[in-house]
Every structure is written in structure tokens, then in C-alpha cells.
Structure 1
Amino acid sequence: MHTPSATITLYLSARNKIVALASGTGRRWAETALALAGFTEDDDLLHTLPLDYPARARQALTHLHQAARDCQVRVATHPRPYLGDIAEAIVAALPGSWAATVLGLREQQDQHHLRDYLWETSALYELLEKERLGFAAFLRDGGGTELLLVERPSDGSYVVGALTPSADHLNATAPPPRSVIASHAHTAAALIRTRLLPDYERAVHLSRLGEAEQDLRWAQEAHEPGAYYAAALDAALDRFRTQAAAFIATLRDGEPLTAEQSVFLDRVEDGLGLTLDEPHELDSEALADAQAVWLIHGEELIEMARAATPPPVTAAKDRAPATAVLPPSAVVASATGPHR
């Protein structure tokens, strides 16, 4: 008997639709069966079937089962909620303006490709390497923070980890934030808010301190003349001024400062030209003053910011107790027929 080389997995979405994932070496046959049954492909390359009209949906699913049989494609119904719904529930509970994007993992190489973007190479990395996952979801805040969400097949838990910041955005050298694991969406969102994001911000802060320290050390030790050196020095100073503004803001928002520390921060802020209406537009005199402040007081500011860095967030438990999950409604299970 011929073994199907492709599988269509059906997921019931809380948004009154069925999402179908075609996978396997014969995936094109599976996509053909979906098209013949009336599933539509959206901009994210996901095949969906609306459930607004139950009779029409049942007819489409019956046609799908027949087309899949003709194309020698296996049809299966996934017992867990659609990951896109979980992602939407999580981002709705996060501070700020987060958005979720779902990625169908049709081939094993899709998962392996995601590994290259992970900041922490632990539980999430192993899942992408060893398990067969249906979907992954990107959670983005629009400001450079990107998280990856997947479902762990062994127990249905949701694993969320941070993606490495873009090299244009940050040279990530600090220990990465740990992934979080939860049994349902609202617990995952709580763990992201209380542990993953604070640890992410801490790692970004420490990486920026490392960048600032490296630039300062280079500027203090390198004295090669020439236009290239001057341009590189100006670029490093401009980076430090941006970093210094963030360091100063963090210090002022943290533990109460002594009078001496407040005076120091005011002096550095003024000397770097950070109080100007256009802080990145400095004339030659102001630029020279900023460079002197950087070279003389930069190390003290870095040390002050590093000393005020909070410890990583720890938790006795990083997952919630397992909860029962209801299976998809009968409209999916009854119309697809027996699994093949």
C-alpha cells in the first residue's frame, strides 16, 4: 500500500475558521487538494476555510477528504488550539503595541533556519532541531524586540524565547534572556512581562555597556592621524552620546541618586550636548567639548550604569500546571473522515 508523502493538518481557530498546514515531500499534492476543496491561501501562505456557513464548510471538508484520497495525501485534525490564536492572546496582554505573525513550518529546514536567529540556545533550540512543529509565531513590539513562540509537542506547553537583536541595532554580547514555558496563553504573557522582557532589557543594557566600553577604550588608546581616524572617532562619539542618553535616563529612573551623582549626570549630559533641541547637531566647538567629556568622564558613567544594573529575574517555577484543552468542534472531526 502506498504511504502518503504529504499530510494536511487541520487546526480550528477561535476566529471562526480552519487553518490547514500542508507538509511533507509531496506538499504540492496537498496544496492541490486544499485548492480543489475551496481553501484560500492568504498573504502568509496559510490555507484557511471560513466557518461562517457551517453547511458550506462541511461540504468543503468532505471535498477535501475526497481530493486528498485521490492525491494520496493524509488528512489529520490537530487536537490543540491553533498557535496563531495563542500568539494573538499573548500579544494582547503585553505592554505597548505588539503584533504577531504566524509562520507555517512546512519542511524541517524551515525550523532549522529559525535556530540561527535565537539568542538563547537551549530548550527552544532543541525543539526546532529535534521535534516536528507545525507553526511558529513571531511576537514583535515594533521597537526591535522580537520573540519566537512555538508549541512543545510532548505536552502542549508553549515555549517563548528571544531572537538575537539585529546586528545593526545591537552587538549582543551579554548572556541571553532565558526562554519561558507555560501551559496557556495568559500565563505565557505573564511570564514574558515579569521575566523574559526584564531579562531581555537587562541583556540589551549590558550589551550596550560593553559596546560603549569597547569604543571608549579604543578612543583612549588609538591616536592614528588621518581622515579615516577622525571619521571613525566621530562615529564612536555619536554612538556613545546615544548610549549615554539611555544610561542617564535609566539611572534617573532607578534608585535615588546622591547629590554628587545628580550633579555628575547633569554635567555629563550638558557636556555631551544631550540637552540641546537637536542633540545630534553639534558645531565644531561643541563637538570638541563632547569628545573631551566622553574621554574623561565616559568610564565613570559606564561604571555607574553597570553598578545600577538589576540582577536577572529568577523564578522558582517557570511554567503553570497543565490544564485541560478542549478538542476541535465536531464540524472538523466529522467532516474529515477517518485518519489515513
Structure 2
Amino acid sequence: MPKHVRRSLSSTRRPATARPRVVTSERPYRGDIAHVVAEGLPGPWDVDIEHYPDGTIPAHLLDWVWEAGPALSTLSKYRTSCAAVLRDGGGTELLLTERLWDGSYLVGTLLPSPDHVHIVGTGAPRTIIATTAHGAAVDVRSRLLPEFEQLVLLARLREVQEDLQWVRDAEPGSVDAVDLEAALERFLSHAPYLIEATRRANGKTLPAPDAAVLVRFESLLAPVQGDSRTRGRGEPGDIDAAIALWLESGENLVDVVRASADLAEKPSHPAIATATPPKPPTAVAATGRTR
């Protein structure tokens, strides 16, 4: 056999140790993108990757997307192999996925658990659309999270106000003890967040009267705050004092929080559609009056 033929054959012969090549997508793995975004956000975040063999994001997950706008709602019409859910451990959850037709990354917030706060008529944080993971992290940190925190704070304020108005408008002796306890529970769950938001709002120094309102609430609520399973088992005097302070000065606290956080009744951005949260299981549904 001529030498040039042997050389040609040997160049095409596969070595015995050769392995098949796996050709992967040029697009980065969604989990890697999610971790890059998480690392660019304040505080620690957990990342869970969900895979969808049928190429469809489950409806029950899309139902929890806070902004039910076209950016994320149209994803149900296209194949999506996976998505990521980012959690900060404090109740903030983000959904990250990708638009296959242009490669953009989408990040939206999931509705807060109804056990924590009921979101009604507050607008919604606008979904992030970015071409890179680092760009997504910047937009989430600078816009999405601040909008989320402001709208959750506004929802907490509204819930406190609704409960106060309900108690004040009720006929004497007509308020059921169970309903009153449930309303107090809601206030005790919201008060720490309201006070914390007020103290950190824009680095402002509070006027002396406003600071006094916060100190008064902190000192009287501390004995009855904590684990909800033990709340109510404390000293009756502490509970009575908390109820009295809530009913007498709750509006003062709301006014201080609203002024310091510069909250408007409506979000600064245009009104947008919001998702309707699924009905919580009976075991975790909030007790007390029906809204």
C-alpha cells in the first residue's frame, strides 16, 4: 500500500481511547446565571433550579408571579427547560428564567406568602429584562428589590390601618374576642417591620416626636413579640398594654412610617396588572374577620 494512502487512512482512524463528543448549547446554564445574579444581591440568597421535562413552567408557579404582565405571562406559550427561584430567607422570592427567542433574562418577584401580608391594590414590582447576568443583578438590586420592599411595606401599613378602622367603627361589645386577637396578631407581626423600615429609611434623622413614637412601641411591644406559638401566653398585663397602645396610637405609628419612608398611596410607576394569589390552605389561612 502506498505511503500516502496509509497516511490518509491513519488520519481518519479513531483511537481506541477516543470518546464521543457532546455538543452543548452556547448559552450558559441557567443555574450558573442564577448564582451570578444571587452573588450580586445584598445578603445571602439560596438558589433552587427547577427542571421541566415537558418544556413548560408549571401554572402554579406562574400564578405566584406578582406582576402578571406580558414579560412573564407569555412564557407559558413557549418551551422552557428550567427556571431558578432565588430566596433570601426573609420572605423575598425571585423567579429567574430566559426568553428563548432573544436570549434575555427575566427576573420577577413572587407574591409574598398570605401568611405574612395580603397584597391588595398596591401595584407590583416591575419585571427585570436584561441581556447579561451581571446586568440583571444590578437592575434587581437597584430597582426590583426596592420596589418590592416599598410595596410590601405599603401593604403592611394598609392592613394595620384596616384593622384599626374596623375596631373603631365596630359597635361597642360587638367585636368578637377571637377576631380581636387575630387583628392584634397581625399588628404584632407587622410592627417590627414598620419600625425597622422607619429607622433605616434613607438615612434620615427622625424628628424627636417621631422617634418617641417608635421608642414607645418598641418598649411596650417587646414583651409580647416573638414566636407566635408562645405569644398570648405571656403576662396579661403585657397583652392589655399592647392592645391599648395599638388602638390608641396605632395611627401615629402609621403616620411616622409613611412620612419617613416617603410612601405614597399609589406606586410611583404606572398601574400594572397583578397576579391573584392562590387561596392558601385552610390550615394556614389567616383567622379573624373576612376582608
TM over 0.5: yes
Which among 129, 143, 158 is matched to residue 210 of structure 1?
Answer: 158
Structure 1 equivalent of residue 123 of structure 2: 175
Q: CA deviation at 1:93?
A: 2.0
Structure holding more strand per residue: 1
Which among 111, 132, 137 is matched to residue 184 of structure 1?
Answer: 132
After superposition, residues 61-72 of structure 1 pair within 5 angstroms as 61=22
Between the aligned partners of 2:225 and 2:59, the Cα distance in structure 1 is: 45
Say if 2:209 is the partner of 1:257. no
AA of the residue aligned to 1:106 = P
Between the aligned partners of 1:135 and 1:92, the Cα distance in structure 2 is: 20
Aligned residues of 1:124 and 1:161 also touching (Cα < 8 A)? no
Which among 169, 179, 185 is matched to residue 221 of structure 1?
Answer: 169
Count of residue pairs the alignment pairs up: 242
Q: CA deviation at 1:98?
A: 0.7
Say if 2:249 is the partner of 1:301. no
Per-residue deviation, residues 119-162 of structure 1 (Å, max 9, x unmatched):
00114333323322222111111222111111112221101000
Say if 2:147 is the partner of 1:195. no
Aligned residues of 2:161 and 2:251 also touching (Cα < 8 A)? yes
Per-residue deviation, residues 149-198 of structure 1 (Å, max 9, x unmatched):
11112221101000111111221222111111111111111111111111
AA of the residue aligned to 1:204 = V
* Distance change >3 Å, CA 175–CA 133, structure 1 → 2: same
Q: CA deviation at 1:301?
A: 1.3
SS of the counterpart of 1:160?
strand
Structure 2 equivalent of residue 290 of structure 1: 242
CA RMSD of aligned residues (A): 2.6
Between the aligned partners of 2:61 and 2:159, the Cα distance in structure 1 is: 26
Q: CA deviation at 1:225?
A: 4.7
AA of the residue aligned to 2:218 = E
* Distance change >3 Å, CA 108–CA 181, structure 1 → 2: same
Structure 2 unmatched runs, 5+: 1-16, 270-291
SS of the counterpart of 1:94?
coil
TM-score (norm 2): 0.74
Q: CA deviation at 1:115?
A: 1.8
Aligned residues of 1:97 and 1:141 also touching (Cα < 8 A)? yes
Using the TM superposition, name which of 197-206 and 299-308 deviates more. Answer: 299-308
Using the TM superposition, name which of 273-282 and 142-151 deviates more. Answer: 273-282
AA of the residue aligned to 2:43 = G
Aligned residues of 1:251 and 1:305 also touching (Cα < 8 A)? yes
* Distance change >3 Å, CA 310–CA 107, structure 1 → 2: farther
SS of the counterpart of 2:50?
strand
Structure 2 equivalent of residue 104 of structure 1: 51
Between the aligned partners of 1:104 and 1:83, the Cα distance in structure 2 is: 10
Which among 76, 94, 113 is matched to residue 147 of structure 1?
Answer: 94
SS of the counterpart of 1:110?
coil
After superposition, residues 36-47 of structure 1 pair within 5 angstroms as none
AA of the residue aligned to 1:92 = E
Identity %: 40
Per-residue deviation, residues 50-79 of structure 1 (Å, max 9, x unmatched):
xxxxx77x4385xxxxxxxxxxxxxx9533
After superposition, residues 152-171 of structure 1 pair within 5 angstroms as 152-171=99-118
Say if 2:69 is the partner of 1:122. yes
SS of the counterpart of 1:292?
helix
SS of the counterpart of 1:149?
strand
Structure 2 equivalent of residue 269 of structure 1: 218
Q: CA deviation at 1:294?
A: 1.1
AA of the residue aligned to 1:294 = W
Aligned residues of 1:124 and 1:160 also touching (Cα < 8 A)? no
AA of the residue aligned to 2:84 = A
TM-score (norm 1): 0.64
AA of the residue aligned to 1:289 = A
Structure 2 equivalent of residue 131 of structure 1: 78
